[in-house]
Amino acid sequence: MRKPQPDSPTKRKLLAAAQNLMLAKGFTATTVDDVCESARLTKGSFFHYFETKEALGKAVLDRYVSTMFQAIQDAPFLKKDDPLQRIYGYVDFLIEMSRNPAKQSGCLLGTFSQELSDTHPGIRKTCAQHFARWAEALRLDIASAKAKHAGRKRWDPAALAEHIIIVVEGSLILARANQNYGVVERNLKQLKQYMNGLFGR
Amino acid sequence: MRKPQPDSPTKRKLLAAAQNLMLAKGFTATTVDDVCESARLTKGSFFHYFETKEALGKAVLDRYVSTMFQAIQDAPFLKKDDPLQRIYGYVDFLIEMSRNPAKQSGCLLGTFSQELSDTHPGIRKTCAQHFARWAEALRLDIASAKAKHAGRKRWDPAALAEHIIIVVEGSLILARANQNYGVVERNLKQLKQYMNGLFGR
DNA sequence: ATTGTCATACCAACCGGTAGGTATGCAAAT
DNA sequence: ATTTGCATACCTACCGGTTGGTATGACAAT
């Protein structure tokens, strides 16, 4: 009676609607009715696919992260041979994204961490794991870039990976408050200055 | 009938309770009942002092910011004569704050910006103004520090001011997700490295 | 081809509880 | 006597979630 298909067009519509709403209003302020109305479905069918609202939240988070991950995996800069070029390409890619008005909506990982870390420990944990994966992916390239171009210097690749992430998240907050995503570009460029120092340019 | 005193012990209790709750759970997830229970008062008296929940939000935000502002104004590093020492002192002060377990609760400015920028334009604007004031205060010291110690270099003091802020806000997000405020210290130290470059050390 | 079976997909109506907010009363202070 | 501080009681809308049901399609057995 209640074994919905794990992936159906309807479920995807619900997830897409929820993602948009939650990026705009956050998790708590987004109601199940909102999601249903936006997806042009009814609450009955919503709860056919999701046991609780929290389950929806987790699903949206996973969907968001894997979408991002995919977008990066498909980006051209990842094909560069030199890891240092990949790292700088990464930051430039983020800058380009921040210029795209369609993507000027903040990071779900950041917003969920902030509003749910105290009330929804499960979601908080999921956020932390996604952050850790993100940092680890960055760390790998940073470590080889360092080995190749800055072997002598003494600094921790993991720390730079973390720093890139927090610069992104912090810029997004300020961009949102100011309703101006130029903040992101400005600060990613300063991050590149900092990286120049680390890699000895 | 409804002209409450602008500042009374009761109102302060409500504000303090609301600030703690909203730092932990955010604005939306904090209910008026929560606030009343935490302040050991009833809803009747709550609405004696605040016309709406949104008015409470703005009041809490103002209170939070002016508390922070005061804490900084009273800090010893501001007495230094050299503006460069004041800037570095500022960052060190933030590091010390991040070590204090009592203050490991995020920044209301950041959380409100994220969850309310789309739904409560008034609060969003207030946040943006507070951010701007914060940045301006930093910019002044940075500009004189630059004039004194790095007059030749070409970079914008306003950009560094903004960068300091976004590093703080970004670190706080990650710290929250990881439930570990060492993140803040690590990234403020990297920020200092970046500043060393700018000021030509 | 027809029928019966069974699982999934989706909906309209509803439920208990709680959200923000109001009406009102009354004691203390001015 | 009026104003202020705070409480009790209550209202309406809406919250997340449930219920009972219908529609649809796949697959057999006939």
pLDDT in tens, A66-76: 999 999 999 98
Residue range A17-28: mean pLDDT, rounded: 96
Q: Is the pLDDT of residue A95 over 90?
A: yes
What's residue B3's pLDDT?
67
The candidate with the shortest Cα–Cα distance to B147, out of B85, B191, B83, B91, is: B83
Contact present, B148 and B61 (Cβ < 8 Å)? no
The minimal CB distance from A111 to the residues B29, B115, B166 is found for B115
Residue range A47-73: mean pLDDT, rounded: 96
Contact present, B145 and B160 (Cβ < 8 Å)? no
A26 and B169: CB-CB below 8 Å? no
Q: Nearest 5°: CA angle at A109, between A103 and A115?
A: 115
Q: Is the pLDDT of residue A2 over 70?
A: no
CA distances from B40 to A66, A117, B15, B63 (A): 45, 26, 12, 20
Helix residue ranges, H only, chain B: 9-25, 32-38, 43-49, 53-74, 83-99, 108-116, 121-149, 157-178, 182-198
Residue range A95-99: mean pLDDT, rounded: 97
Please tell me which residue of chain B has the smallest CA distance to A188. B163
What's residue A152's pLDDT?
85
Which residues lie below 8 Å from residue A153, measured CB to CB, with a gap of 6+? A146, A198, A200
- Give dist(CA A141, CA A195) in Å, integer: 13
Covered bases, chain D (protein CB within 7 Å): 3-10, 14-21
Query: What burial letters (b/e) apply to A108-122, b meaning 16+ CB within 10 Å?
Result: bbbbbbbbbbbebee
B71 touches chain A (CB under 8 A): no
The minimal CB distance from A113 to the residues B117, B168, B177 is found for B177
- Give dist(CA B90, CA B39) in Å, integer: 34
What's residue A1's pLDDT?
54
Query: Over the stretch A182-201, which tens digit does the pLDDT of each residue have?
Result: 999 999 999 999 999 999 86
Q: Which nucleotide is nearest to A31 (CA to C1')?
A: D15
Q: Which nucleotide is nearest to B42 (CA to C1')?
A: D7
CA distances from A47 to A8, A43, A135, B43, B170 (A): 14, 6, 35, 34, 35
Q: In Å, how far is A63's CA from the nearest CA of chain B?
A: 18
DSSP secondary structure letter of residue A75: S
B177 and A128: CB-CB below 8 Å? yes
The C-alpha torsion from A127 through A131 and A134 to A136, rounded to 10°, is: -130
What's residue B140's pLDDT?
97
Which residues lie below 8 Å from residue A2, measured CB to CB, with a gap of 6+? A48
What's residue A34's pLDDT?
96
**B 2-41 residues, CB < 7 A, strand C:** 30-34
What's residue A5's pLDDT?
84
Which residues lie below 8 Å from residue B78, measured CB to CB, with a gap of 6+? B72, B86, B89
- Taken in order A70, A74, A79, A80, the sign of the CA dihedral is negative
Q: Which domains does chain B have, with CATH numbers?
A: 1-59 (1.10.10.60), 75-198 (1.10.357.10)
- Give dist(CA A177, CA B162) in Å, integer: 13
- Give dist(CA B198, CA B176) in Å, integer: 30
- Give dist(CA A164, CA A138) in Å, integer: 9
What's residue A151's pLDDT?
78
Q: pLDDT tens digits for chain B (201 residues)?
A: 556 788 889 999 999 999 999 999 999 999 999 999 999 999 989 999 999 999 999 999 999 999 999 999 999 898 999 999 999 999 999 999 999 999 999 999 999 999 999 999 999 999 999 999 999 999 999 999 999 998 789 999 999 999 999 999 999 999 999 999 999 999 999 999 999 999 986
The minimal CB distance from B194 to the residues A114, A115, A193 is found for A193
A76-80, A106-110, B112-116: the lowest-pLDDT one: A76-80
- Taken in order A133, A135, A136, A138, the sign of the CA dihedral is positive
B29 and A28: CB-CB below 8 Å? yes
Which residues lie below 8 Å from residue A47, measured CB to CB, with a gap of 6+? none
What's residue B6's pLDDT?
83
